[in-house]
Amino acid sequence: MYFPYMYGRRSELLAVRAMLSAGRNLEPLIPVIEPVNLDISDLSRCLALCEEAGQRIAIVTNPNLHQLRQTSQQWQNGVKALLEAYPTAIPTLKCSPHTTATNVSAFFRSMAARDVAITHAGSALDQADFTTMVRHPTVRFHIALANMVPSTQLTAIPRNKRVVVTDPFSRQARNADYDGMEFFSDAYKNFARANIGFGDFMCIGSNFQPGGGAPAAVVIHAVFKARNSGDIWIEHFLSDDVERDQGDTPNKFLQAARKLVQAVRHRPREFGSNPALTAYAAHVQNGHFPQLGKNKELQMVHHMCLMLDVLSGAL
């Protein structure tokens, strides 16, 4: 099973919605969303469509990033109402160094009689409380986040509920610093030996950034399956113009997209075929700039489609 971990910005939620019509078997896919915005309207629309499609999606109920560094009771009540309305959503507690045994007990009480998940992000619980938490019968998945869980805790998690999420994306300070291709992951090959699932932060990375103005360079990060090894690599398609006083954002996007489309045309057995790649080809053909948010959305859709394709053996 594949657990892409993402933040609840509009582009991420639109990427999840796009997957509902991506033409894949979505049973192995469980997106994990950590909300970052006070406005829950986009989250509500996403959950409604997932419910209609029967798509499971994990929602962190105690996020602590961006606008939600301190969640209000109004926000908590709104999200709880959404989770009650949509049974396919999996309420998820983020267990961090600030999480207490009282917090864990309150979460279990508030979500009684339904499956829940725990994301493990460096718990400071003592061993007895940690053991009680991981053995709780309503927890369907324990999702250990990249390099944040000590081995003593990781091994205490039941194997049939354990998911390990890594962060193979090598973030650069500037878009212009991305170049060529690099190894991404081979987790899909061997996760089943020790865990029920695996995940990653896709082509976005775990370092949350709220976004900013017009970029000096536009880059498209696209994963592919290497033909010689079967490993997952990532290629960075960078615009030719990489300075702020060079060109404009629409042309920079098309420069990067042309490179991606050409690579996909020459290496179809590596990149596969999916709605995101089709959309990039259409944008290039029409000379259309769909905005940077859509560019990020398409990268994530391609990433999820490719991971599902390698899991199913279609690629």
Over the stretch 227-256, which tens digit does the pLDDT of each residue have? 999 999 999 999 999 999 899 999 999 999
Name the CATH topology of 1-166.
Answer: TIM Barrel (3.20.20)
* Amino acid 290: pLDDT: 97
- And the tokens for 44? 């509500």
Q: What is residue 118's predicted lDDT score, i.e. its pLDDT? A: 98
Contact (Cβ atoms closer than 8 angstroms) between residue 62 and residue 71: yes
Domain ranges of the chain: 1-166
pLDDT (0 to 100) of residue 312: 97
Maximum mean pLDDT: which of 20-34, 61-75, 201-215: 20-34
Average pLDDT over residues 37-65: 96
Checking if the pLDDT of 38 tops 90, the result is yes
Strand order, beta sheet including 219-225: 181-185, 232-238, 219-225
pTM of this prediction exceeds 0.75: yes
How many other C-beta atoms lie within 10 A of the C-beta of residue 62? 20
As a whole number of Å, the CA-based R_g of the chain is 20
Token pair of 256, please?
């990067």
Q: Determine the pLDDT at residue 88.
A: 96
Reading the block at residue 23, the tokens are: 């033409």
Per-residue pLDDT reduced to its tens digit, 115-159: 999 999 999 999 999 999 999 999 999 999 988 999 989 999 999
The mean pLDDT value for 253-274 works out to: 98
pLDDT score of 303: 98
Let me know how long the chain is.
Answer: 315
Average pLDDT, the chain: 95
Q: Is 210 a residue whose pLDDT tops 90? A: no
Residue whose entry in the numeric block shows the structure tokens 């291709």: 181
- Tens digit of pLDDT for each residue in 95-105? 999 999 999 99
pLDDT at 113 over 90: no
- Measured between alpha carbons, how far is 200 from 185 in angstroms, rounded to an integer? 9
> What integer pLDDT is reported at residue 214 of this predicted model?
83
Contacts of 192 (CB under 8 A, 6+ apart): none
d(CA 34, CA 207): 13
Backbone angles phi, psi at 195, to 5 degrees: -135, 165
pLDDT on residue 72? 83
62: helix, strand or coil: coil
| Token code pair at residue 183 | 């190894």
Confidence at 304, pLDDT banded by 50, 70, 90: very high
Q: For 152-206, write each residue's pLDDT tens digit.
A: 899 999 999 999 999 999 999 999 999 999 999 999 999 999 999 999 999 999 9
Please write the tens of the pLDDT for every residue from 85-96. Answer: 999 999 999 999
Largest Cα separation within the chain, whole Å, is: 61
| pLDDT for 6 beyond 80 | yes
